């Protein structure tokens, strides 16, 4: 079996924690690789959520990325220096917005 060399990892941040990501990896894949399975909570009840479908159809993987809420982590490529924070509910600081 021949293995293709992987490009070097770079660093992203998840709630202040340093996580390795690789070129071409989605944010969801990088989070899974780091053992992080949930990065948002539901609007009603605050239940944890992460990736479910992995193809951008279900919206379970929403995260706040670089200060912008409601980004689909399964579709968004990881970039060096990205900052992901756990999204609480609808992702906006003002209730009901």
pLDDT digits (tens, 9 = 90+) for 25-47: 999 999 999 999 988 888 888 88
> Does residue 62 form part of some domain?
yes
Mean pLDDT across 9-19: 96
Range of the domain at 62: 39-90
Model confidence at 97: pLDDT above 60: no
pLDDT digits (tens, 9 = 90+) for 45-65: 888 888 888 777 888 889 999
> Does residue 30 form part of some domain?
no
> Does residue 29 form part of some domain?
no
Reported as type and span, the H/E element at residue 33 is helix 27-33
- 27 closest CA partner among 68, 70, 75: 75
> Does residue 95 form part of some domain?
no
- Domains in the chain, number: 1
C-alpha angle 57-32-90 in degrees, rounded to nearest 5: 50
> Does residue 73 form part of some domain?
yes
**Residue 28 near residue 73, CB atoms below 8 Å:** yes
């Amino acid at each position: 079996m021949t293995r293709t060399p992987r490009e070097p990892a770079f660093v992203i941040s998840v709630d202040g924690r340093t996580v390795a990501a690789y070129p071409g990896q989605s944010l969801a894949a990088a989070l899974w690789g780091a053992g992080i399975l949930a990065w948002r909570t539901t609007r009603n009840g605050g239940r944890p959520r992460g990736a479910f479908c992995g193809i951008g159809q279900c919206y379970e993987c929403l995260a706040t990325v670089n200060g912008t809420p409601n980004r689909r982590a399964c579709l968004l490529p990881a970039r060096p220096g990205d900052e992901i924070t756990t999204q609480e509910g609808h992702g906006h600081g003002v209730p009901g917005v």
